[in-house]
Amino acid sequence: MVAQKLQAIVLLGQANSRMKDFYDLLALSRLFAFEGGSLIQAIRATFERRDTLLPTEEQILRNGLSGIA
């Protein structure tokens, strides 16, 4: 679920008016202890399956999540 929410946020970029996605990620992070390796694999697989480019760390730091679409 985390990977799907993150992919939707990245795909929609600034057009994402669904603040619910951000809230859901925050809530999930407070409820569950994520395993980094498993989460990375899920994120990569989700982005690949949904044909979405995974932003680089530099893109995120430079533009934020809302500016990478």
- Higher-confidence residue of 27 and 9: namely 27
- CA–CA separation, 18 vs 31, rounded Å? 21
Q: Give me the mean pLDDT over the 3-31 stretch.
A: 85
Question: Range of 6's domain?
Answer: 2-67
Query: How many structural domains does the chain have?
Result: 1
Candidates 29, 3, 34, 5; CA nearest to 19 is 5
CA distance 67 to 12: 10
Q: Which residue has the higher pLDDT, 61 or 15?
A: 61
32-45 per-position pLDDT tens digit: 999 999 999 999 99
Q: What is the pLDDT of residue 56?
A: 83
